[in-house]
A and B are shown apart, each in its own frame.
Chain A
Amino acid sequence: MLTGGGDVVMPDDPRDRALAFRLVREVTIWRLRLDATLEAYSSRPLGRLHPQVLSALRIGAVQMLVMGMPAHAAVSTACSAADGSGRSYANAVLRRLARDGEIEGLEPWVRLSHPKDLYGRWVAAFGRERAEALMAWDNEVPPLGGWSRDEGGEGRYIPGFKALERSGHIPEASAIGSLYLQDEAAAIVGEGVASLGGCSAAEIGASPGGKTVHLDPAFGLVISIDTPAARFARWRENAVRLGLSHSLPVVADGRRLPLAGMPGIMVDAPCTSTGIYRRHPDARWGWSAHRLAECSLLQRELLDEAAAAVARGGWLSYSVCSLEKEEREEQVIRFEQSHPGFRRLPFPAPPVLVRDGLLGIFPPEHGIDGHFAACWTRES
């Protein structure tokens, strides 16, 4: 929790910890919307305020406008995060907010707190209604759940996916057991690729192990590739905890693979992650058209390199957690045009999620994160 001195201290009480996490999450998500009203009520531009005072204002505003906390409680807890003249200033601005309420006539991307150019993109791609439904989805608290080959459970789409109760704080290890915490959509991608079969497979973009957990029991050998080496710390923790015994971590750049003649390769590519903003509250603020262009280029390089390392008769899969056509359908079409020896296979997933053989999830309509996947077999 932020103290008057500006230090970050984690409270001992789990309920306080839960509140601290919730505040950070909600302030991160709603920053654009909160700042619009705070800017209107602050006599000084927000950018010129001391960071502590700005934090106090945002915490107060999010408690009042989003979390439904009574105004007097919101003002008093928020102001305790600042001191001296900053405290009086925050107090005055928040009291005005309590009296006059949120300003009216916010633009839709401000009201839904997403970057303006992303809103424009999504309206063009999905239509206004679907775009706004997607942004509202991004702002919701995601359900908690995970996949396990041992614990049973029945997901919305696949067996083996188990929903956990969200208690508001990070679950204890005993509650997680042998589960790998992930969205059901990620499990659908992992299980689909695991069903493609073969004696060995490689996965590109392996860490932190969300796909390895699905591939490991399905293949005799999984070569789990990622870079840099530090990324394997979490992969290793998960591999030990979940008893993954068929997977071999290899530090390598997916654009220069130390492989040839592989029976199967999964490219789980870095992407703009626009399909999983709900689970990564800060990710939307990293959005840019430039980043999209960078990701698309990297995906193309990874796919081309992996294709060259797949044996004849083997399979190749491509997956991202993005909703952008440049990283999804357009990537697939480009790949197929430049690789006539690869034939598209219907992605093995529940049919309601598959169109033209491609797994394509639109979160507000399918109720799970926005993953995308394709797979091919190499014929020549």
Chain B
Amino acid sequence: MADKLEFNEENVRAEIEKIRPMLQNDGGDIEFVGIEGRVVRVRLKGSCSGCAFAALTLQYSVERTLRQSFADLERVENVAQA
């Protein structure tokens, strides 16, 4: 399946911007780190970093939302807080 958007840093960053308000609502945040192959790396911050549901939220929210725009996306990975 072809991507609806070209899979590049600019487009992925723009899509992640759209998800941020939902996480910020609960005192969390997400930062785009980079792309490696077809894997998107992000950093969950704020209350997200200590949240027991962060991994699930990443999979159910961030990954599925990105997949709507980037069909060939393999997965989204959380990079531990620096």
Contacts and interface: CB of A to CB of B under 8 A. Distances in A.
A311 B51 CA distance: 11
Interface residues of A, number: 20
Contact of B56 (A198, A245, A248, A313): A248
B60 A199 contact: no
Nearest to A247: B60
Contacts of A245: 60, 64
Given A199-B25, A199-B28, A221-B61, A261 B56 contact: no
Interface in A218-272: 219-223, 245-248, 260-263
Given A220-B62, A261-B51, A261-B52, A198 B25 contact: yes
A199 B52 contact: no
B26 interface: yes
A313 B56 CA distance: 21
B60 A246 contact: yes
A134 B57 CA distance: 44
Task: Tell which of A199, A219, A221, A311 has the most Cβ of chain B within 10 Å.
Answer: A199
Chain B, interface SS category: helix
Given A199-B22, A246-B61, A221 B56 contact: yes
Contacts of B52: 260-261
B34 interface: no
Contacts of A260: 52
A76 interface: no
Interface in A186-225: 197-200, 219-223
B24 to A, nearest CB: 9
A222 B59 CA distance: 12
Given A199-B61, A245-B64, A246-B61, A263 B56 contact: no
A313 B27 contact: yes
B51 A220 contact: no
Contact of A248 (B25, B26, B48, B60): B60
Contacts of B16: none
B22 A220 contact: yes
A225 to B, nearest CB: 13
Interface of B: 19, 22-23, 25-28, 48, 51-53, 56-57, 60-62, 64-65
6 contacts: A199-B23, A220-B61, A223-B56, A245-B60, A311-B26, A313-B26
